[in-house]
Structure 1
């Protein structure tokens, strides 16, 4: 899914460098894990970029601690595809509406990123990039699934003081962000890190700053079940 050129041109100036770069986006820009040609549960997430009081931001939710998969982790809105979903964008928008009450009419769809694999849950995820042209209040509609919703400013995500790598008890190491009480890591941090680089927003930060993942965050590692994943597994 790519929107016509006139749709992209209506996006704000700060989004244009990212949109131009995404024409050549590869799986390797976000992860070192190969997406299997067959198998995996199809799913989609909505990478929703808007503009608030502090400039561009991204919508992130924190999953409830009681969920079976990815409990307690910050994530993009999204989930598994339903048979009735026409495509990945339909899945992402439906899930965002169900999870945080997003008005789908407030969103301009832009493009799909490469399909990415999450081994621990065997999801094959299509990140759907969108511009939130008419932001509105959102909230956790299902507390059993979503604990918290926030718009994280890009300026805070790229602050070197808020960037680090985390080490999972399994030994997996990957990028992370500590912003507004959220520790964003794993799949979500890998996608964010790639987009910040491609949008020209990233600032130099110390990749040598590695912290152990807090026990409350230590769900199975993104590289669980694989033999060929190194320290850059999710980036």
Structure 2
């Protein structure tokens, strides 16, 4: 993964122009364990949040004025959401920011590794409902990969992991990293699944 980030990849097309608009900025943390088959950390957003309640996401949030850079934002948010000690983290690099039309944020993905030794938990139940981790081998498996279909006509990569459904920007970011790191495996893009209603709240 680190080698893939030596030269930052170009902005990825996700069905529309995702070039940053400069309106407001956010950062998310793609946290991988330092292992042959890494685990990737996700959160379930709290059901009480105004936007994207109950959805599976990467830890992260908006850039605050005091943040030094996007990595600082992602690490601060991860500490606030899941109690991650930034001293345990080794930064690998960043993906180019992508514009998210639903929130009008330019979102930068910060990629990092850690030893996985710290217990991560939902620090504030009003913000984070749960913490999950999935092995890269599981995320890359054709058994969990589908194309998610939204009633609006939107479609994109998605992952079905037990009762959890990962779609939208988070699924695109996971798909992108699987590809960049050479972890991706063939899967049936034509296997379409309607996005469960409980994961579609704006």
- TM-score of Structure 1 vs Structure 2, range by shorter chain: over 0.9
Alignment of 1:45 onto 2:45: no
Can you list the C-alpha shifts for 1:150-187, whole angstroms capped at 9, x where unaligned? 11111110110100011111110011011243211100
Q: Is the 8 A contact 1:107 1:134 kept in 2?
A: no
Q: Which residue of structure 2 aligns with residue 122 of structure 1?
A: 104
Q: Provide runs of 4+ in structure 1 moved above 6 Å.
A: none
Alignment of 1:149 onto 2:125: no
Can you list the C-alpha shifts for 1:17-43, whole angstroms capped at 9, x where unaligned? x22222241112x63443455433211
Gaps of 5+ in 2: none
Deviation at 1:51, TM superposition (A): 4.4
- When the two structures are superposed, what TM-score results if normalisation uses the length of structure 1? 0.81
Distance (Å, rounded) in 1 between the aligned partners of 2:98 and 2:14 = 8
Quickly say closer, same or farther: Cα 1:39–1:55, change in 2 above 3 A.
closer
Quickly say closer, same or farther: Cα 1:37–1:208, change in 2 above 3 A.
closer
Q: Which residue of structure 1 aligns with residue 42 of structure 2?
A: 60
The structure carrying a bigger helix percent of its residues is 1
Q: Is the 8 A contact 1:33 1:117 kept in 2?
A: no
Question: Cα RMSD between the aligned structures?
Answer: 1.7
Q: How many residues align?
A: 201
Matches within 5 A, 1:186-201: 186-201=168-183
- When the two structures are superposed, what TM-score results if normalisation uses the length of structure 2? 0.93
Quickly say closer, same or farther: Cα 1:88–1:19, change in 2 above 3 A.
same
Can you list the C-alpha shifts for 1:34-88, whole angstroms capped at 9, x where unaligned? 3455433211001111146x93111100101221111111111000011010110
